[in-house]
Amino acid sequence: MVNRIEGNGRKVLVVDDDLAIRVLLEAVLRRIGFDVALAEDGAIGLEKLGKNGKFDLVLLDLMMPKINGYEFIDKVTKDYRTGRPHIIVFTAAGQRGVDKIPPNAVCNAILKPFDLEKFIDMISDCLNQTH
């Protein structure tokens, strides 16, 4: 893998109910220098977001138990008018699922299964944007 991005200790929260995806993304992101936190559902993700300070980026699945990705996005959009983390959605819900996300609520979205190189490029592009 060619590193097109350096994490430089920036904080990323990975929210997905699939353990394999959490472990994979944690390994890849740590290897390129990110500080990574994991959450297995939206409720735990919101708790970590509130408790652990500022995250630069949230990588979010849409279809999860307890609080799903749509509810997570809605809560973050309402609670973090300023200082809101960038959000990239990754989902198996298909394009129709992505189309249900409110405009300007997320930085980008990608369908599962995704190409890891493309996903890393998406992370780089997203972190280089301003809200």
Q: Could you give the domains of the chain? A: 11-123 (3.40.50.2300)
Residue 19: what pLDDT? 97
Q: Sheet containing 11-15: give its strands across.
A: 35-39, 11-15, 57-61, 86-91, 108-111
What's the whole-model pTM score?
0.92
Q: Which amino acid is at 105?
A: A
What is the C-alpha R_g of the chain? 13
pLDDT band, residue 111 (cuts 50/70/90): very high
Residue 80: what pLDDT? 79
pLDDT in tens, 38-83: 999 999 999 999 887 689 999 999 999 899 999 999 999 988 777 7
Q: Rounded CA gap, 88 and 109, in Å?
A: 5
CB neighbour class for 80 (10 Å; exposed up to 12, middle 13-18, buried from 19) = middle
Residue 2: what pLDDT? 44
**Length of the chain counted residue by residue:** 131
Pick from 46, 59, 56, 53: nearest CA to 10: 56
Is pLDDT above 90 for 94?
no
**CB 47, CB 76: distance < 8 Å:** no
pLDDT in tens, 11-38: 999 999 999 999 999 999 999 999 999 9
The residue ranges of DSSP E strands in 3-125, in sequence order, are 11-15, 35-39, 57-61, 86-91, 108-111
Residue written as tokens 């249900």? 100
